[in-house]
Copies of this chain bind each other. A is one copy, B any other.
Amino acid sequence: MKRSDKTRGTILDEAIYIASKTGFEALTIGKLASAVGMSKSGLFAHFNSKEQLQVDVLKAVAKKFADKVITPSLKAARGEPRIRAIAKNWLAWTNAKFMPGGCLFLTATVEFDDKPGPVRDFLVSNQKLWIHFIAQAAALAVEEGQFRKELDTEQFTYEFHSIYQSYHYASRLLNDPQAESRVWNMLDKLLENARA
């Protein structure tokens, strides 16, 4: 790793931390510069606008997501084991130490869903890949004969995705001690419904 890459990685980690705590709107180059002890002009060499910084932060988060959720899930066997692994790794993601304020994809969704531009464009294309990944895992479970042939895998994905969002809300906002068991109850029903 080149020294300049390392610096960039460290800056992005700090930016992820700040965005998680305050949101993307409040992540200014000035605030980030003082957090990493650099000059604003030094930071402009890395990110020439706040918007570029926001895109780069999301790209860095997407990279971490691939490492911590997608890749390990692929180690589980096709079909239900993989779907359960996705759920487990995704849930752990919400409590990642480098994002103390919760999942940055949810933060970005709320902030950018109504703001056309490159940040929204990256977020949408990234989330579509993720949705496709889940749908693909469901399609493989159909192929393996574990899920029924006529299963609507997009509907399955919609419901699978909803479990995650409710968990984030119940665990982080309501501090519901049963938030996690509710996830597994809901997932059990979803799988039962999908089976061949």
Interface string of A95-117 (1 = CB under 8 A from B): 00000111000110111111000
Q: With A23-B25, A100-B114 in contact, do A166 and B172 touch (Cβ < 8 Å)?
A: no
- Give the residue of B114, B124, B127, B182 whose beta carbon is less than 8 angstroms from that of A101: B114
B124/A155 in contact, CB under 8 A = no
Q: Which of A131, A154, A170, A173 has the most CB of B within 10 A?
A: A173
- Could you list which residues of chain A lie within 8 angstroms of chain B, going by C-beta atoms? 21-23, 25-26, 100-102, 106-107, 109-114, 123-124, 127-128, 131, 152, 154-155, 158-159, 161-163, 165-166, 169-170, 172-174, 178, 182, 185-186, 189, 193
- Chain B contacts for A114, CB-based, 8 A: 21, 100-102, 172
Query: Considering the chains assembled together, what is the distance between the CA atoms of A110 and B186 in angstroms?
Result: 23
A23/B110 in contact, CB under 8 A = yes
- Chain B contacts for A110, CB-based, 8 A: 23, 102, 106-107, 110
Q: Copy number of this protein in the oligomer?
A: 2
Query: Considering the chains assembled together, what is the distance between the CA atoms of A105 and B110 in angstroms?
Result: 10
Chain B nearest Cβ from A105, distance in angstroms: 10
22 residue pairs from A and B, CB less than 8 Å apart: A23-B23, A23-B110, A23-B111, A25-B25, A100-B114, A102-B114, A109-B169, A109-B173, A124-B174, A127-B173, A152-B185, A155-B185, A155-B186, A158-B170, A158-B186, A159-B186, A161-B166, A162-B162, A162-B163, A162-B166, A165-B165, A165-B166
For the complex of A and B, the 10 pairs showing the least CB-CB separation, nearest first, are A162-B166, A165-B165, A162-B162, A113-B172, A113-B173, A158-B182, A101-B114, A110-B110, A25-B26, A109-B173
Query: Considering the chains assembled together, what is the distance between the CA atoms of A161 and B112 in angstroms?
Result: 22
Query: Considering the chains assembled together, what is the distance between the CA atoms of A123 and B174 in angstroms?
Result: 9
- Chain B contacts for A170, CB-based, 8 A: 158, 161
Chain B nearest Cβ from A188, distance in angstroms: 11
Chain B nearest Cβ from A166, distance in angstroms: 3
